Amino acid sequence: MDDNKREFFRVNDHAYVRIKYVPRNHVKQIAKEVYYGTGLEGIVLANRKVLESIAGLKARDSQLSFALEAMNEKMDEILSIAQGGSAEKTKAQPINFSIGGCRFYTNEAYSLNEAIDITIRFSDQEEIRALALVRNISKVDDNAFGEYEMAVQFRAISKANASVVEKHVMARQQEELRARAEAKQNG
């Protein structure tokens, strides 16, 4: 562990990632939105409740749960567009993240220090939004998630969203530590 002091500060997971370029003259505006919200947070919370309800319905009424899932996907697209994104589909991808930033794949090439508006939705449907700066970008063999690997540093993130990231980092660390302990015991 002494070799890599950051070992337990970064974790790997899968999440949905949406990014949008932020022109320099809009950085302050986006930072305010990130800190204070856009007024759409209620929709995000309602979406979480819908997903929980759909999960409960699957065993009892598969046709109804299928219809609700389709409606939910449509609402996700509407919400994405309302938040300034596009209706482009995203899929869960490998993401390496910490409390200070993350690394993920994209098809768009950004320059170092460019600002981006990033939204990350974890598998439990918790979603965070941050203003981030591109700190590293490298071309990788084209894979299912994008031809560039990009690392960003969070520059503006609300306390609530920082808490969500911290919670996910801690949970993943615990899972990884358990897996390492089991692997060590087994061989």
Per-residue pLDDT of the chain (187 residues; tens, 9 = 90+): 444 445 457 888 999 898 989 999 989 888 888 877 655 556 666 766 777 777 777 778 888 878 887 887 777 777 666 665 544 456 789 999 999 999 999 988 899 999 999 999 888 878 899 999 999 999 998 688 889 999 999 999 988 889 999 999 999 889 888 998 999 998 7
State the CB neighbour count (10 A cutoff) for residue 13: 19
Measured at the CA of 183, the angle between CA 179 and CA 187, to 5 degrees, comes to 175
Do both 110 and 169 map to the same domain?
yes
Residue 3 lies in a domain: no
Q: Check whether residue 18 and residue 53 sit in a common domain.
A: no
Residues 172 and 96 in one domain: yes
Domain count, the chain: 2
For residues 60 and 138, state if they share a domain: no
- What whole-number distance in Å separates Cα of residue 30 and Cα of residue 33? 5
Q: What tokens were used for 25?
A: 């003259």
Residues 6+ apart with CB under 8 A from 151: 101, 102, 103, 134, 135, 136, 137
Note whether 23 and 74 are same-domain residues: no
**Prediction pTM value:** 0.70
The percent helix, strand, coil of the chain (3-state, each to 5) is 40, 35, 25
